[in-house]
A = this chain, B = another copy of it.
Amino acid sequence: MLDPFDDTYFMKKALQEAERAFEKDEVPVGAVIVVSNKIIARAHNLTEMLNDVTAHAEMQAITAAANFLGGKYLNECTMYVTLEPCQMCAGALYWSQIGKVVYGAADEKRGFNSLGAKLHPKTEMIGGVLQEECSQLLKRFFVEKRNLN
């Protein structure tokens, strides 16, 4: 039997968050954190609205998940995020000891892989889930920005 709660299912939920960021004129990145097929945190990039470079979707989701769980370690959790985390977010994920990170589009310029940052050795990582959809949303955002200026 097919599992309805697969990586694609939750990445779609992260994409919905990214679309919320898009609507607010924020770089459209979204994230959800899941435990036992239940979403315990949803967040999207708010760096412009909050005037704060630390307000990436992942950072807010980590804070929200820890708040929900009442503990700061996310060993049993999976994060779904539409864009490969930057080194700041990879660093936060490292400290959280999160069980698994699934990302959509790769970020070859600012992603943690190319910048050399590290996740926790216990953290499983998968990239490229709904890569095309995640990437298209970002491209559409930057094309619209360019045309406005």
Residue positions of A touching B, CB distance < 8 A: 47, 51-54, 59, 62-63, 66-67, 70-73, 86-92, 94-96, 115-118
Contacts and interface: CB of A to CB of B under 8 A. Distances in A.
A117 B52 contact: no
Number of copies: 2
A67 B47 CA distance: 12
Contact of A87 (B59, B73, B91): B91
A66 B49 CA distance: 12
Which of A67, A95, A118 is the most central at the interface, judged by chain B CB atoms within 10 Å of its CB? A95
Contacts of A89: 88, 91
Which of A62, A87, A95, A116 is the most central at the interface, judged by chain B CB atoms within 10 Å of its CB? A87
